[in-house]
């Protein structure tokens, strides 16, 4: 491998002669081939030409910033505490996508190598609970825990979006000030994902999708509007995060 490879959700995160990207669409990160790259099953994952693996959003982003072309602007350095917030388990937007993973797990899990059995058993346990709610006559004892967990996740995402996130956003521009900085690459991607899940495109006025949670703070509206004017944002997110 002569170039670093970034495994990511659908969309082109990287362009240029020095880097290439591999698309990881919905559910493809559940394939055995991807687990052999990163047993953590995390997207994004960055593999360097020397075989170094960066299998978290924070580590892969930091690697890209560190190796950015000479003279590239990277904005104000990130607050480590702020970087952790969008990655908290209780506001994980992927919970809303479990249904998309069900079919691929049904196909892959039964024949997966023994070394990945524990991983697939855990994933199957989650999606089997989801499939039960679509089965006629399923006991409410099976449905209730899923509905409760889903509602808790929805409430946590709504609280983070409308209350927590807005307190960290600037009055105008980006967290990196005039241009996006490291924190923006994490914070900006999070609402982009939620916007897409809510059925909207990441374009001007995308913040209106958050009205499903309640009144949208001015700081969040202006922050997303600042992103949607950038060519890079439209290349990656406009037609869907995944």
* pLDDT tens-place values along the chain, 242 residues long: 578 888 876 533 333 323 334 444 456 788 898 899 888 888 788 998 898 999 888 888 888 888 887 767 777 777 777 777 777 777 876 666 666 677 788 889 999 999 999 999 988 887 766 666 667 777 777 677 777 877 888 898 899 889 988 888 988 889 888 888 888 888 888 888 888 878 877 778 888 989 999 999 999 999 999 998 888 888 777 665 54
- Cα separations in angstroms, 81 against 10, 182, 233: 28, 12, 24
Cβ atoms of residues 11 and 202 within 8 Å: no
- In this predicted structure, what is the pLDDT of residue 22? 47
Phi, psi at 7, each rounded to 5°: -90, 125
- In this predicted structure, what is the pLDDT of residue 9? 64
- In this predicted structure, what is the pLDDT of residue 130? 66
Phi, psi at 93, each rounded to 5°: -70, -20
Bridge partners (DSSP) of residue 54 are 46
- Let me know if 76 is exposed, middle or buried by CB neighbors in 10 A (0-12, 13-18, 19+): middle
How far apart (Å, rounded) are the C-alpha atoms in residues 118 and 114? 8
Bridge partners (DSSP) of residue 23 are 8
What does the CA dihedral 26, 29, 30, 35 come to, rounded to 10 degrees? Answer: 180
Domain boundaries, the chain: 5-66, 80-236
* Other C-beta atoms lying within 10 Å of the C-beta of residue 166: 16
Spacing of C-alpha 103 from chain mean position: 20
Instruction: For tokens 């956003």, name the residue.
Output: 169
Cβ atoms of residues 237 and 224 within 8 Å: no
- In this predicted structure, what is the pLDDT of residue 117? 92
Residues across the chain: 242
34: left (phi over 0), alpha (psi -120 to 50) or beta: alpha
The architecture in CATH of the region 5-66 reads 3-Layer(aba) Sandwich (3.40)
How far apart (Å, rounded) are the C-alpha atoms in residues 223 and 187? 10
Smallest CA-to-CA distance from 198 within 213, 186, 188, 185 is with 213
- In this predicted structure, what is the pLDDT of residue 236? 75
How far apart (Å, rounded) are the C-alpha atoms in residues 202 and 24? 19
């Amino acid at each position: 491998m002569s170039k670093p490879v970034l495994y990511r959700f659908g969309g082109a995160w990287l362009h240029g002669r020095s880097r290439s990207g591999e698309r990881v669409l919905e559910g493809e990160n559940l394939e055995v081939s991807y687990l052999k790259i990163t047993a953590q099953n995390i997207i994004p994952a960055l593999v360097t030409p020397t075989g170094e693996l960066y299998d978290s959003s924070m580590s892969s982003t930091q690697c890209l910033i560190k190796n950015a072309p000479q003279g590239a602007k990277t904005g104000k350095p990130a607050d480590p505490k702020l970087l952790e917030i969008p990655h908290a388990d209780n506001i994980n937007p992927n919970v809303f996508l479990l249904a998309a993973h069900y079919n691929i797990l049904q196909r892959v899990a039964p024949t997966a190598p023994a070394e990945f059995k524990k991983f697939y058993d855990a994933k199957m346990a989650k999606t089997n609970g989801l499939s039960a709610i679509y089965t006629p006559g399923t006991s409410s004892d099976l449905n209730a825990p899923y509905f409760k967990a889903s509602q808790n996740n929805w409430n946590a995402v709504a609280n983070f979006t409308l209350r927590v996130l807005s307190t960290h956003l600037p009055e105008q521009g980006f967290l990196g000030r005039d241009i996006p900085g490291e924190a923006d690459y994490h914070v900006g991607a999070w609402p982009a994902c939620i916007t897409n899940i809510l059925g909207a495109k990441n374009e001007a006025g995308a913040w209106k999708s958050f009205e499903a949670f309640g009144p949208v703070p001015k700081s969040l509206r202006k922050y997303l509007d600042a992103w949607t004017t950038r060519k890079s944002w439209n290349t990656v997110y406009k037609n869907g995060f995944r």
